[in-house]
Structure 1
Amino acid sequence: MTDRSTFPDLVALIAKLRAPDGCPWDGAQTHASLRPYVLEEAYEVIEAIDQGDPGALADELGDLLLQVLLHSQIASESHEFTIDDVIDGLASKLVRRHPHVFADAPSDIDSIRRTWDEVKKQEGHAKVQLPIILAARKLVDHLSSSPDDIERTEYPNEETHAGGMILAAIARAWKGGIDPEIALHKALCLFSQDEVKD
């Protein structure tokens, strides 16, 4: 193709891949079978950001977008929702969560964060199972306990004590301005490179 592809072109391409005369692998996928790929592609986006490579980042964002399009196409085929519903829902949510832009609301950072949390609560989303480090980080945001308090807590057994020490490390990193998920990812990469050298 000589012309640049548009978003509708891409949506049509995904529909073609899922069609009976399309790709057998794409056609066989379900929301459940694609689940691991969503997380994998998100981590590859993070890796491209860490590498500071714009070309790799654009490529990985495309792979992540593919997941959105595949899930939307699968849902469309079973009349659950379409990509247009996804786009409309996101646009509505962004307007709702940014009253400092689209309505008369305070625009300082603290007020923006409070409003974001309040609107999310009003939207009434059920709690979801987050990756454990992200869940711990979110808990730390609402804890009055310091990392030292967490470490000094009396735990009922060795396993819970080990979990408490991990939580304290996450709290210390997060309160120190370090994202524990990214920090652990970088440490794993470092030790993986050492393993390859050995």
Structure 2
Amino acid sequence: MVRYDVDGKNPVGVHPLSKPPNLIRQFLLLPRARCLYHALGLRSYLGGVSGEKFLRSATSWKRQQQEGKSEKNDRGSVPSTIALNLNPHKYCMLSLVRGKSDMSNFPSLVKIMERLRGEGGCEWDRTQTHASLRQYLLEEVHEVVDAISRKNAEQLREELGDLLFQILFHAQIARENGDFDITDVIDSISEKMVRRHPHVFAGASATTPEAVSHQWEHIKKTVENRNHSSIIGGVPRSFPSLLRAAKVTKKAARAGFDWENTGQVMKKVEEEMEELVNAVSEGDPENMEHELGNAIFALVNLARFLNINPEVAMISANERFERRFEAMEKIAMESGCSIENSDLSTLDRFWEKAKKITK
């Protein structure tokens, strides 16, 4: 099997290995180690694979090194590769990556972040800390979700870029503090993804999404030793309430504390709603809050049984209400009246019209 480098040149022989190679260094986007190995175990030179001939697998790298030295002596230079023809600070990717996806612009983005935080940079950027950036990180995440909800690819591209920049921001601050840098972040997630997908990168088997999920949790507990004092522990308290409820109940369900079918959950929702009605009739604010919380929690469990993310469902409901209300305002204006000065029956009529013209 033959593949070519990013310029469509230098044919590369692909040899599957008998044992899975170490896949971590191949994911690095910034120059670090001199010698990298790509996914199928072929020796590469700073991200490019040389040669008009097939290379041996990574297990024979010493012989490849000797052959490289021999070629250098014969021709006066190392084997020509795409990587060696580029600025090493702008290129360090797999030889199998082609065209626009070479990611050579990633180091440039890192340099921009360094410049903003450095001497003569931006005074606002230089004063930021991990803590001060929390609100902006949350805002960017929500804007990404909004772009996805709107199915706007152009907006999604832009918002993903903003989110990526937030990640680089935190990595740069950590680097300045002597904690870690963006390369360490890439190392960490690469190792984690390979480790948690043995059915892809090793000989494990997981043929269904459920099996993959169970395997994922097993690896977290056994290999990574992520054990908490409680079975439902480990869910960040800073999560939005609906999302946190979904996570907690999912953990409890994995331990066997769950209903058997959707009908049982529906019955529980009805029970909680009845208790909420009773609390409202009694007029005790504290009890009403308690029962309302129970009713919402029961609905979160129902969402889990229906394979619906309650947080996403709530976001959609908010957006749907906003679209319909804005449409109702437009209908009212076209009718020569305003929302504020219309009676309830008129508003109901406007609302029904708005529902028909919006999704």
Aligned twin of 2:291 = 161
Matched, 1:27 2:126: yes
TM-superposed CA distance for 1:159, in Å, is 2.2
Deviates more, 1:143-152 or 1:92-101: 143-152
Pick which of 133-142 and 90-99 moved more.
133-142
Count of aligned pairs: 196
Quickly say closer, same or farther: Cα 1:125–1:60, change in 2 above 3 A.
farther
Mapped pair 1:148 → 2:267: yes
State which of 238, 241, 251 in structure 2 corresponds to 1:132. 241
2:105 aligns with 6
CA distance in structure 2 between the aligned counterparts of 1:151 and 1:77, rounded to whole angstroms:
55
Match for residue 356 of structure 2? Answer: none
Deviation at 1:132, TM superposition (A): 1.5
Matched residue of 2:133: which SS? Answer: helix
Higher mean displacement: 48-57 or 63-72: 48-57
Alpha-carbon deviations, 1:2-47, whole Å to 9, x = none?
A: x996111000100100113101111111100110111111111111
Larger mean Cα displacement after TM superposition, 123-132 or 82-91: 123-132
Q: Distance in 2 between matches of 1:47 and 1:102?
A: 34
Which 5+ residue runs of structure 1 have no aligned equivalent? none
Alpha-carbon distance in 1 for matches of 2:221, 2:240: 20
Q: Aligned partners of 1:133, 1:119: CA distance in 2, in Å?
A: 26
Deviation string 1:81-127 (CA, Å, 9 cap, x unpaired) is: 10011000000000111010111111212221101111223422762
Match of 2:12 in 1: none
Aligned to 2:117: 18
**1:181, 1:81 → 2: CA distance?**
32
C-alpha contact (below 8 Å) 1:150/1:165 kept by paired residues: yes
Give distance in 2, aligned partners of 1:125 and 1:31. 27
CA contact (8 A) 1:151 1:168 kept: no
Q: Aligned residue for 1:116?
A: 216
Match of 2:144 among 45, 48, 58: 45
Matched residues in 2 for 1:32 and 1:148: separation? 44
Structure 1 contact 17–27 (Cα < 8 Å) conserved: yes
Larger Rg: 2
User: Shift of the alpha carbon at 1:131?
Assistant: 2.2
Contact 1:100 1:106 in 2 (8 A): yes
Instruction: Measure, in 2, the Cα distance between the counterparts of 1:74 and 1:66.
Output: 12
Pairing of 1:37-76 with structure 2 (within 5 A): 37-76=136-175
User: Cα distance, 1:57 vs. partner?
Assistant: 0.8
Given the alignment of the two structures, is residue 184 of structure 1 paired with residue 314 of structure 2, yes or no? Answer: yes
Aligned residues of 1:136 and 1:170 also touching (Cα < 8 A): yes
The residue type paired with residue 151 of structure 2 is G
2:107 aligns to what SS in structure 1?
helix
Contact map agreement 2:242 2:300 (CA 8 A) in 1: yes
Maintained 8 Å contact 1:133/1:170: yes
Deviation at 1:194, TM superposition (A): 4.3
TM-score normalised per structure 2:
0.51
TM-score by length of 1: 0.89
Q: Residue type of the partner of 1:168?
A: A
Conserved 8 A contact 2:148-2:156: yes
Shift of 1:158: 2.9
The letter for the 1-side match of 2:177 is S
The structure in which a higher percent of residues are helix is 1
The answer to whether the Cα contact below 8 Å between 2:130 and 2:173 also exists between their aligned partners in 1 is yes
| Contact 2:171–2:182 (8 Å) recurs in 1 | yes
Distance 1:137 1:93, change over 3 A: same
Tell me, in whole angstroms, the C-alpha distance in 2 between the residues paired with 1:148 and 1:60.
41
* Counterpart check, 1:107 vs 2:216: no
3-state SS of 1:33 partner:
coil
Distance 1:147 1:125 in 2: 33
Distance 2:302 2:108 in 1: 47
Q: Output the amino acid matched with 2:212.
A: I
